[in-house]
Amino acid sequence: MGDTNFVGYSESDGPLEYSSVYTGFIGYRNQIIRAIAQAAGHEIQVSAAIEGPNIQFPWVALGIPLLYLASFPLVRRQLQQPQSRRYWLGGLAAICILSLFLVVSLTPEAVIREFAQGLPFPLFVSTIALADGFNPCAFTVLIILLSLLTYTERRRDMILVGGTFIATSAVMYFLFILAMIGVGSVLLERYGAIFLLVLGIGIVIAGLINLKDYFWFKQGVSLSLSEAQQRTISQKAGKIVRDLRNPAVGRLQFLTALGGTVVLAIFVNIVELGCTAILPAVYMTTLVNYCAASGFGGAAPCYFTWTALYAAIYVIPLLLILSNFIYSFESSRMSETQGRILKLVGGLFMLFFGLVMIFQPKLLLFV
């Protein structure tokens, strides 16, 4: 319309908002009418009584998991084996996620945009960050460190060393996501939908790899810490604990142990990027568009504020693990079953958001 390029159409009214992903303005009804009026040189009168389309909710998609559940009596005997039961439960979880995506795919675009605009952005950030926080790589390292610290027989050491590890992890994650935003915002501005497509495909692949780990744990390609990396981390954690177990430990030795904890946390956050880089990519894509359209005091304050919230929520599961060790003060480790479940949950999250990013990216715009 004249010099203004609109992409999409929405029956609802809204401000003149530019989307860098689609390199055009969002097609709100009132803005398109205003642009037509400016191009025509006179006012446009449009009846307000316009009936929208009769939208039917795709209930059929939600019935697919019920059909899958109905198969349970038929296969109950075959589910006595742990691996067979794992196949069936994993299939149920995957079908639930795919059914949810099918609902999103069958929902009209205008409804999706209206839903995205009505969804509180803090809720989205909190959900992604909390899901990201259930990270098997971070859990494994923290549990190794805290289990070794039980041999110091001092809760104070566990609180200070464990707290230092978690705080350093939060700062490292904050800096890592800011660096990702700096690169991603440039790529979104230059390549828009193509970048979203490539990123979505990468997230789907990572999700499928994590789902593979639920069925065949650490076989073949895996986004987990390798045995060699775990041994290196155990050696570094063991050195910290040996320094603290020295009966003559003084302030200098204790500060050295805390410094070693900081170095360990930095090392761990670097080597576990394969575990942690996926869901932040979804958050980064949404944040760039949200900050560009929300007028949140400029892009940089918007990035810093929401990413600080993300990092704080990300470490909540780690704080819960630390609290449990402080209370029980018993050595423990993360079992293979727990690792499989975390891989399943994380993989399903990645699969859903990757498919949304490929086929329905408007759901992640929040503008």
For the chain, which residues make up each domain, given as ranges? 1-52, 57-107, 121-364
Instruction: Report the 10 Å Cβ neighbour count for 341.
Output: 15
Q: How confident is the model at residue 111 (pLDDT cuts 50, 70, 90)?
A: low
Pairing of strands 6-10, 24-28: parallel
Q: Can you list the alpha helix ranges (DSSP code H) found in 107-250? A: 109-118, 121-133, 136-149, 155-191, 193-215, 227-245
Q: How confident is the model at residue 16 (pLDDT cuts 50, 70, 90)?
A: confident
Spatial strand order of the sheet with 24-28 comes to: 6-10, 24-28, 18-19
Lowest mean pLDDT among 4-8, 225-229, 319-323: 225-229
What pLDDT, in 10s, does the model give residues 57-88? 566 777 778 888 887 888 777 777 777 777 77
- Going by C-alpha positions, the residue among 1, 27, 24, 25 that lies closest to residue 12 is 27
What is the 8-class DSSP label of residue 305? Answer: H
The mean pLDDT of 203-219, rounded to a whole number, is 83
For the stretch 241-249, contacts whose Cβ atoms lie closer than 8 Å and that sit 24 or more positions apart, written own/partner, are: 241/148, 241/149, 241/151, 241/152, 244/149, 244/152, 244/154, 244/157, 244/161, 245/151, 245/152
Is pLDDT above 60 for 49? no
Is pLDDT above 50 for 367? no
- Only one residue has tokens 């990035």, namely 303
Find all residues with CB under 8 Å of 31, minimum gap 6, and list them.
6, 13, 14, 15, 16, 25
- Residue 208 or residue 45, greater confidence: 208
- Only one residue has tokens 């390798």, namely 226
The mean pLDDT of 178-191, rounded to a whole number, is 84
